[in-house]
Amino acid sequence: MQYSMKPTLNGYAAVKATLFGIALAAVSSTATAMMPSGDLVIEAGRIITQAGDDITDGVIVIRDGRIEAVGPAGEVEKPWGMNVVGGPEFTAYPGFVEAHTSGALDRANESVDVAPFLNIRDSIDPVSFFFENVRRNGITTLGVHQGNNCVIGARGMVVRPMGRTVEELMIRGEFGLKLSAAPKSGKSRATQAQALRTAFDDLRTYLNETVGDKRHEGDKAGREALYQGRELDEEESKGRAMGGTAWKVDGLEVIPRGELDVKQRPLLQLVEGRMAAFIYCGAPMDVHLALEVARDNGFLHRTTLVLDNSCWKAADIIAEAGVTVVLDSNMTHTELDPYTGKEIETDVPKVFADRGVRFALSSSNSSDQSLWYQAALATGLGLDRAAALDAVTIVPAEILGLGDRVGSLEVGFDGNVVLSNGDPLSTTTWIETVVLEGETVYNRSTDGRNKHLYEGQSKPAGSKSGSMGHSAAGNRR
For 115-140, write each residue's pLDDT tens digit. Answer: 999 999 999 999 998 999 999 999 99
| pLDDT tier for residue 235 given thresholds of 50, 70 and 90 | low
Rounded Cα distance between 52 and 49, Å, is: 6
CA max distance for the chain: 106
Which among 395, 155, 186, 392 is positioned nearest to 278, based on CA atoms?
A: 155
pLDDT (0 to 100) of residue 217: 55
pLDDT (0 to 100) of residue 415: 97
pLDDT (0 to 100) of residue 256: 83
Q: How do beta strands 55-63 and 66-72 pair?
A: antiparallel
Rounded Cα distance between 141 and 97, Å, is: 5
Which among 315, 276, 292 is positioned nearest to 398, based on CA atoms?
A: 276
pLDDT (0 to 100) of residue 257: 81
Asked if residues 121 and 161 have their Cβ atoms less than 8 Å apart, the reply is: no
Is the pLDDT assigned to residue 178 strictly greater than 90? yes
pLDDT (0 to 100) of residue 226: 43
Helix (H) and strand (E) counts for the chain? 15, 19
Asked if residues 304 and 279 have their Cβ atoms less than 8 Å apart, the reply is: yes
Percent of the chain residues topping a pLDDT of 90: 68
Model confidence pLDDT, tens digit, residues 394-414: 999 999 999 999 999 999 999
The more confidently predicted of residues 220 and 331 is 331
pLDDT (0 to 100) of residue 467: 34
Least confident window among 13-22, 274-283, 376-385, 420-429? 13-22
The more confidently predicted of residues 108 and 21 is 108
Domains and CATH numbers, the chain: 35-95+409-446 (2.30.40.10), 97-199+259-406 (3.20.20.140), 449-477 (no CATH)
Range 75-104 average pLDDT = 95
| pLDDT tier for residue 240 given thresholds of 50, 70 and 90 | confident
pLDDT (0 to 100) of residue 337: 84
Is the pLDDT assigned to residue 328 strictly greater than 50? yes
Least confident window among 171-180, 228-237, 410-419, 434-443? 228-237
Backbone angles phi and psi of 269, in degrees to 5: -60, -35
pLDDT (0 to 100) of residue 258: 80
Is the pLDDT assigned to residue 233 strictly greater than 90? no
Model confidence pLDDT, tens digit, residues 263-315: 899 999 999 999 999 999 999 999 999 999 999 999 999 999 999 999 999 99
Is the pLDDT assigned to residue 77 strictly greater than 70? yes
Mean pLDDT, rounded, of the chain: 85
Model confidence pLDDT, tens digit, residues 1-57: 443 434 443 444 444 444 444 444 443 443 333 334 689 999 999 999 999 999 999
Torsion sign (Cα): 157, 158, 164, 167: negative
- Cite the DSSP H helix spans in 72-219: 129-136, 166-169, 189-214
Burial of 262 (0-12, 13-18, 19+ CB in 10 A): exposed
Range 106-119 average pLDDT = 92
Backbone angles phi and psi of 305, in degrees to 5: -90, 135
The more confidently predicted of residues 455 and 375 is 375
Is the pLDDT assigned to residue 72 strictly greater than 50? yes
Model confidence pLDDT, tens digit, residues 197-229: 999 999 999 999 988 765 555 555 454 544 444
